Amino acid sequence: MIELERYYSYNRYLQNTFGGKTYKVVVASGLTCPTRDGTLAKGGCAFCDVRGSSSYFGKKGRGDEIQEQIRSRIPAVRERFGAKHFLAYFQSYTNTYSDVEYLRSIYQAALSEPGIDGLCIGTRPDCLPDAVLDLLEDLAQKSYVSLELGVQSFDNASLEWLTRGHDRQSSLDALARLKNRAPHVQVCVHLIFGSPTDSSQAPEEAAQILNSFQIQGVKLHQLMILENTELARRFREEPFPILDLEAYTEQLIRFLEHLSPSIYVERLYANATHNDECLAPQWSKNRWDTHNQIRDLFQSRNCIQGARARGVPISMPLSSSRSSENTSQLTAGS
Ligand code: SF4
């Protein structure tokens, strides 16, 4: 049965970009974060359990180690998923938080590895000095480079509550500088919905801001309370409201309907990797029930990406393929 594709899925974007099945191979850069090393704070952002991340290796990622990580992972991924193209994914911590020489060495090591078609680099808005943007632009003119930017929220109250160590203006500045100084870099913004401090218009406002910067992608997740985080400590001390699945899906619908249809959606929600380490919400633990309930609500509300976006053309492709967002747990996405 031909099914309406309600949003521009990451699979379709990868297919359009690389022409075949593409998979992200996680590699560790060996870097830290300004919210972990004492520069801005210690202990990390309030929601982040970097130790639970699949890309946490706890070792320095020199060029030869980067290549070794890639070589050891590609064969299994090729066999299991039938992937034809591979992207080296610097996922955990802040992967632009170093001097340019070191960054160039690890990025180039990854790009020089056979089978690697490009880079995905996770970072924070306040860790993108001009020299780093120039390096990214230089690489992006020759290879695919996607910057996964941990904006998380455009509400200052939520950024403070999440102890991010940067404000809304820092994200706006980073997006503007990326657009002007590094135009070949693909930008994928990470957002969290569901902080009790979010403004009532947070989904619509976030979509409109992203449209205005003409970024390429978004990756969404619900506020999740994981063990070994500041949020877990606060939640146990005094529980705060968490969105149930229906309320979260309502926020997704409002966001997607205001989002330009040219922006791909890499993920709609996060799935708890370790169920026993997820305190709330409980629906984070049940991948397929959650997937099906979101799909059903999208259908009953006839949610279409961009349906309420102002000033952007609406043209959604029809597809018989099931959109298959990556639902892995975001524990350390910068
Ligand atoms: S969310 Fe990102 S910046 Fe914050 S502690 Fe985790 S990895 Fe570091």
Provide the pairing of β-strand 217-222 with 264-267: parallel
The answer to whether the CB of 33 is under 6 A from ligand 1 is: yes
Q: What is the total count of domains within the chain?
A: 1
Instruction: Assess if residue 332 is contained within a domain.
Output: no
Instruction: Assess if residue 45 is contained within a domain.
Output: yes
Instruction: Assess if residue 191 is contained within a domain.
Output: yes
Instruction: Assess if residue 328 is contained within a domain.
Output: no
The answer to whether the CB of 35 is under 6 A from ligand 1 is: yes
Mean pLDDT for 191-206 is 98
Given a cut of 70, whether residue 315 has pLDDT beyond it is no
Ligand 1 atom closest to Cα of residue 50: 6
Alpha-carbon distance values, 159 to 5, 30, 121 (Å): 32, 26, 21
Ligand 1 atom closest to Cα of residue 48: 6
d(CA 268, ligand 1 centre) in Å = 20
Instruction: Assess if residue 126 is contained within a domain.
Output: yes
Instruction: Assess if residue 199 is contained within a domain.
Output: yes
The answer to whether the CB of 159 is under 6 A from ligand 1 is: no
Mean pLDDT for 130-142 is 98
Average pLDDT, the chain: 91
How many CB atoms lie under 10 A from the CB of residue 217? Answer: 22
Specify the CATH number for the domain of residue 92. 3.20.20.70
pLDDT at residue 4, as a whole number: 72
> Which range has the worst mean pLDDT, 40-44, 136-140, 216-220?
40-44
Mean pLDDT for 217-235 is 97
The answer to whether the CB of 150 is under 6 A from ligand 1 is: yes
pLDDT at residue 312, as a whole number: 62
Residue closest by Cα to atom 1 of ligand 1:
334
pLDDT at residue 3, as a whole number: 58
pTM to 2 decimal places: 0.92
User: The domain containing residue 101 runs over which residues?
Assistant: 3-308
Instruction: Assess if residue 13 is contained within a domain.
Output: yes
pLDDT at residue 56, as a whole number: 46
The answer to whether the CB of 272 is under 6 A from ligand 1 is: no
Instruction: Assess if residue 326 is contained within a domain.
Output: no
* Residue 54: pLDDT band with limits 50, 70, 90: very low
Tell me the sheet residues that pair with 192.
221
pLDDT at residue 328, as a whole number: 39
Residue closest by Cα to atom 3 of ligand 1:
334
d(CA 123, ligand 1 centre) in Å = 8
Q: What is the pLDDT of residues 89-126, one digit of tens each?
A: 999 999 999 999 999 999 999 999 999 999 999 999 99
